[in-house]
């Protein structure tokens, strides 16, 4: 069982006041707060042993390289990848998807080929594929979702064709909270020899990240959404895919031998890590993953389920509040609108009450278009949130309604 008082004391920023009110942080979908152990770990890199990785023969470079490769092993173990060579560090989810779209596109995509994404993707899993389609003359196909926020899997099966080269779907919708049934996406694609990329940006921190059990071909996520530093992320790829893909950036460390006539590339995963990497971020991410493991992924998941059930009931009891995303399988994210009240007004008044929520399209404009709305208010919770905070949100929303009535 998570001891909530102990856990909250791990996160210094949660003790903060905003406009004189205790901070209630419900914007975890955008970025999560960082526990002290992660901050200490990053500080330790710079105060104890900072040296550039894989470069020097000196002790500090060795120590940093060891910690960096140790972080890679922590990621490998956390997502249950078969090997460390399958774990590439990047700047984040966006960086990872762009890298794969470029590199996979160079190797495998030609004119008329098809790429499948879903209607509930974050822009980060739409636009890189659109850029690829423009470059190669390929075609983007879209799996629709229904009004409850579930993907239409029958339509998906109809979209799969001999022309499909890759399927790229989110694990969890950032705008609706839906947990996508990935097995039902991956198995039929694999039956046709088509690889699947999973955008784990909103999934990994809620306990769903076992790439071997999912059998996905690529899995990407951002450190900052799982209690780690910003500017670091992961691009997992099965060795059979990564080994055949060309690098997407050239520079130091990703090479084996450079001459003006011909350059050969380093082995995996370094082939995809050009230049000085964010090694302090990677080491901080490793510590964040340790922290999540120490709390217990099942414990986190149980607590978040309780928070979701309570928040859904509390918010549903408010007249004039409509929730977008009613799937039976959801993470603890609630997107909503109040009748005749603009989402920005709701968000701004809640902010004055010390409650941080996100408003707008959440970088998922097609989701908003689906419902014919401009945006929503999104409360995205995680394990360090409390029932008391949900009550305060409920009371805050009622205050917003009464101010506009
Ligand atoms: N994919 C999803 C589902 C997201 O929610 C986000 C960010 O909110 C991203 C991708 C992009 O993540 P980042 O900005 O960390 O690259």
Digitized pLDDT (tens) for each residue of the chain, 405 residues in all: 899 999 999 999 999 999 999 999 999 999 999 999 999 999 999 999 999 998 778 999 999 999 999 999 999 999 999 999 999 999 999 999 999 999 999 999 999 999 999 999 999 999 999 999 999 999 999 999 999 999 999 999 999 999 999 999 999 999 999 999 999 999 999 999 999 999 999 999 998 899 999 999 999 999 999 999 999 999 999 999 999 999 999 999 899 999 999 999 999 999 999 999 999 999 999 999 999 999 999 999 999 999 999 999 999 999 999 999 999 999 999 999 999 999 999 999 999 999 999 999 999 999 999 999 999 999 999 999 999 999 999 999 999 999 998
Beta bridge partners of 179: 172
Mutate to test the pocket of ligand 1, among 95, 100, 124 (most ligand atoms within 8 A of CB): 124
**How far does the centroid of ligand 1 lie from the alpha carbon of residue 57, in Å?**
37
Catalytic residues, by residue number, are: 363
Tokens 């499948």, located at residue: 116
Give the separation between CA 88 and CA 277, rounded to whole angstroms: 11
Give the separation between CA 361 and CA 335, rounded to whole angstroms: 10
Secondary structure class of 265 (helix, strand, coil): strand
**How far does the centroid of ligand 1 lie from the alpha carbon of residue 153, in Å?**
23
Based on the number of CB atoms within 10 Å of its own CB, is 178 exposed (0-12), middle (13-18) or buried (19 or more)?
Answer: buried
Q: Is the C-beta atom of 118 inside 6 A of ligand 1?
A: no
Which of 11, 39, 5, 10 is CA-nearest to residue 23? 11
Q: CA angle, corner 368, sides to 365 and 369, nearest 5?
A: 85
Q: Whose CA is nearest to atom 6 of ligand 1?
A: 201
196's CB contacts (< 8 A; 6+ apart) are 166, 167, 168, 169, 182, 185, 186, 189, 190, 216, 217, 218
Mutate to test the pocket of ligand 1, among 120, 175, 201, 376 (most ligand atoms within 8 A of CB): 201
- Give the pLDDT of residue 313: 98
The second-level CATH assignment, the architecture, of 4-30+296-404 is Alpha-Beta Complex (3.90)
Give the separation between CA 343 and CA 179, rounded to whole angstroms: 24
Find out whether 385 and 25 touch, Cβ atoms under 8 Å.
yes
* Other Cβ atoms closer than 10 A to 134: 9
**How far does the centroid of ligand 1 lie from the alpha carbon of residue 129, in Å?**
15
- For the record, the structure tokens of 251 come out as 């520079």
How would you classify the pairing of strands 255-258 and 233-237?
Answer: unpaired
- Spell out the domain ranges in the chain: 4-30+296-404, 39-293
The domain 39-293 is placed in CATH, from the list 3.40.640.10, 3.40.50.620, 3.40.50.2300, 3.40.50.300, at 3.40.640.10
- Per the rule left: phi > 0, alpha: psi between -120 and 50, beta: everything else, 186 is alpha
Find out whether 364 and 175 touch, Cβ atoms under 8 Å.
yes
Q: CA angle, corner 80, sides to 79 and 85, nearest 5?
A: 90
């Amino acid at each position: 069982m998570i001891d909530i008082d102990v856990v909250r004391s791990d996160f210094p920023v949660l003790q903060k006041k905003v406009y004189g009110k205790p901070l209630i942080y419900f914007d975890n979908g955008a970025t999560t707060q960082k526990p002290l152990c992660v901050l200490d770990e990053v500080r330790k890199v710079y105060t104890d042993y900072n040296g550039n990785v894989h470069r020097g023969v000196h002790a500090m470079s060795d120590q940093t390289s060891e910690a960096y490769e140790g972080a890679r092993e922590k990621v490998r173990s956390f997502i249950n990848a078969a090997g460390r060579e399958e774990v590439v560090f990047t700047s984040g989810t966006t960086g990872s998807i762009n890298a794969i779209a470029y590199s996979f596109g160079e190797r495998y995509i030609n004119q008329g080929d098809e790429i499948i994404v879903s209607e509930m993707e974050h822009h980060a899993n739409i636009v890189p594929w659109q850029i690829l389609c423009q470059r190669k003359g390929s075609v983007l196909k879209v799996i629709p979702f229904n009004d409850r926020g579930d993907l239409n899997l029958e339509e998906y099966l109809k979209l799969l064709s001999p022309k499909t080269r890759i399927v790229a779907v989110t694990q969890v919708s950032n705008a609706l909270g839906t947990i996508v049934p990935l097995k039902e996406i991956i198995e039929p694609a694999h039956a046709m020899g088509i690889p699947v990329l999973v955008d784990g940006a909103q999934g990994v921190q809620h306990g769903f990240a076992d790439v071997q059990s999912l059998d996905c071909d690529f899995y990407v996520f951002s450190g900052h959404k799982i209690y780690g530093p910003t500017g670091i992320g992961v691009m997992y790829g099965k060795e059979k895919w990564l080994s055949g893909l060309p690098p997407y950036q050239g520079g130091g460390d990703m090479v084996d031998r450079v001459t003006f006539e011909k350059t050969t590339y380093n082995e995996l995963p370094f082939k995809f890590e050009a230049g000085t990497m964010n090694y302090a971020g990677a080491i901080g991410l490793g510590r964040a993953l340790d922290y999540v493991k120490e709390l217990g992924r099942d414990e986190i998941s149980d607590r978040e389920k309780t928070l979701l059930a309570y928040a859904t009931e509390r918010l549903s009891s408010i007249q004039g509040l409509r929730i977008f995303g009613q799937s039976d399988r959801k993470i603890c994210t609630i997107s909503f609108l109040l009748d005749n009240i603009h989402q920005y007004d709701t968000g701004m008044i809640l902010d004055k009450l010390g409650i941080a929520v996100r408003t707008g399209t959440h970088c998922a404009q097609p989701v908003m278009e689906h419902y014919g709305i401009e945006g929503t208010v999104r409360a995205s919770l995680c394990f360090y949130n409390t029932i008391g905070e949900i009550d305060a949100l409920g009371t805050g929303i009622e205050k917003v309604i009464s101010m506009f009535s």
